[in-house]
Amino acid sequence: MSGKRALVIGGSVGGLFAAGLLLKAGWNATVFERSLEDLAGRGAGIGTRPDLFAVMRRIGIAPDPTAGVSVKSRLCLDRNGAIVAERAVPAVNSAWDRVYRPLKDALPAACYRAGMPLVGLEQDGDGVAARFADGSRERGDILIGADGVSSTVRQIVLPALEPSYAGYVAWRGVAEEKDLTPDICAGLLERFTFCLPPEELFLCLPMPGRDAAGERRFNWVWFRLVDFARELPLLCTDEDGRCHGTSIPPPLLRRAVIEEFRAHAAAVLAPQLARVVAETRQPFLQPIYDLACPRVAFERVALLGDAAFVARPHVGTGVTKAAGDAECLVDALLSAPSIDAALAAYDRARTAVGQALVARSRELGAYLKAGAAAPDPAAVLREYGAAGSLAEEVFGPTLRASSRPGA
């Protein structure tokens, strides 16, 4: 089944994995991305699994040892900076930009169209027609919705389904190794560090630099309870009093919000972690959502990555799942007797994986709720994974294996 055309909506990691694999499989694939800007500045650190790099190799991206930073253990610090629990858990962290950049560079420029928001689609028995904001139309044999948690494609095929707010946000940021003292760096390198203030969870991971020559960075994620209706709009209101809804571009965060946030870090976090927060130039805010679709294939339309399922970040699998979705879809298109049979196989394989990830991530985030008892640090580290990455513990080798249609 080659020589067919796929319209890929969304030019982030999910869309790039799909387009890269489809081109290798002899399909034509065009990515339509809403944003005009390069997306590399968007992400922060990511936990990885070997599957992620395997899919990149399949696209033809050579392994880059500088794109990963090894950690040996997970440890938990108390308010005074003392270690209260530790567990040996080897893992490799990477950075969103170190996955996105090679994927984007591997895609021929003619296959990527920026500034092209999808606004509508129509299906018939033979394919799909996509409509874009500039009034243009494109036709393909399939359309892949890789357009993230607020997916326009999903809103068309599943109009009643909305992401649900988890009750907390992730404050996130990246501090440069060169901005921290050598003793702080020495204590945080090679470790995945936790801190557990009441009703909060703070994580800090070393991550690679922006490129092969770059110095390492420290990625942190701080989960804090925020009321959706009352507090979130206030956090998302800029200095001019304009509310941006439930998210806000990081440069528009109010000075008072960042000051409160840094003062709170100094009050409740281990001192070395508060220092990492203080040395972060541009913190940003992400409300945490759950999303679980009942199906991921709709005639000639397939949903992939965060458009299909969003597991809370506790399982650290979003990028690997997007890669696995893309690989499963392309394998199905290569092996099934028809496009319709391929999409049915994709639907069976990936709906189950996505639902299981969402359920596990809800369990892990459950103690982040008002009035919850202080968690036992050793239990948190155990829950977060006794061996290898979290997803590996939850799914073993099946995350990728089950991406094979019929597996």
Beta-strand ranges (E) seen in 243-375 are 284-292, 297-298, 301-303, 309-310
Please tell me whether residue 47 binds ligand FAD under the rule CB under 6 A. Answer: yes
CB of 48 to ligand FAD, least distance (A): 7
User: Binding ligand FAD by CB under 6 A: which of 30, 237, 317, 361?
Assistant: 317
Are 387 and 89 in contact by the 8 Å Cβ rule? The answer is: yes
118 binds ligand FAD (CB under 6 A): yes
∠ CA 191-259-373, nearest 5°, is 55
Residue with smaller CB distance to ligand FAD, 48 or 237: 48
What is d(CA 56, CA 21) in angstroms, rounded to the nearest whole number? 9
Is residue 113 within the footprint of ligand FAD (CB under 6 A)? no
Question: Does the footprint of ligand FAD cover residue 221 (CB under 6 A)?
Answer: yes
> Nearer Cβ to ligand FAD, position 83 or 114?
114
Q: Which of 232, 292, 319, 339 is the binder for ligand FAD (CB under 6 A)?
A: 319
Longest dimension (CA), the chain: 64
Helix (H) or strand (E) holding 147, with range, is none
**DSSP 8-state class, residue 61:** P
| Residues 62-91 close enough to bind ligand FAD by CB under 6 A | none
> Hey, what are 221's tokens?
């994620």
> Which parts of 366-385 interact with ligand FAD (CB under 6 A)?
none
Find the shortest distance in angstroms from Cβ 136 to ligand FAD: 13
171, 161 Cβ separation under 8 angstroms: no
> 197, 305, 324, 377: which one contacts ligand FAD (CB under 6 A)?
305
47: helix, strand or coil: strand
201-229 burial by CB neighbour count: b if 16+ within 10 A, else e?
Answer: bbbbbbbbbbeeeeebbbbbbbbbebeee
Euclidean distance between CA atoms 71 and 385, whole angstroms? 13
Q: Which residue has the tokens 């959706």?
A: 228
> CA-to-CA distance for 178 and 223, rounded, in angstroms?
26
Per CB under 6 A, 399 contacts ligand FAD: no
Contact between 15 and ligand FAD per CB under 6 A: yes
With CA atoms as reference, report the closest residue to 45 among 215, 286, 218. Answer: 218
Q: Is 318 in the site for ligand FAD (CB under 6 A)?
A: yes
Residue nearest to ligand FAD (CB): 318
84 or 357, CB closer to ligand FAD?
357
350 sits near ligand FAD (criterion: CB under 6 A): no
Residues 6+ apart with CB under 8 A from 341: 332
Binding-site member from 61, 166, 170, 399 for ligand FAD (CB under 6 A): 170
CB of 207 closer than 8 Å to CB of 69: yes
Any contact of residue 187 with ligand FAD (CB under 6 A)? no
Q: Minimum Å distance from CB 103 to ligand FAD?
A: 10
> With CB under 6 A as the contact rule, which of the stretches 12-20, 245-253, 258-266, 332-340 interacts with ligand FAD?
12-20
Q: Which of 53, 61, 69, 152 binds ligand FAD (CB under 6 A)?
A: 152
Which member of 13, 75, 274, 333 binds ligand FAD (CB under 6 A)?
13
Q: Which residues bind ligand FAD (CB under 6 A)?
A: 9-15, 32-35, 39, 46-47, 117-118, 146-148, 152, 170, 172, 221, 286, 305-307, 313, 316-320, 322
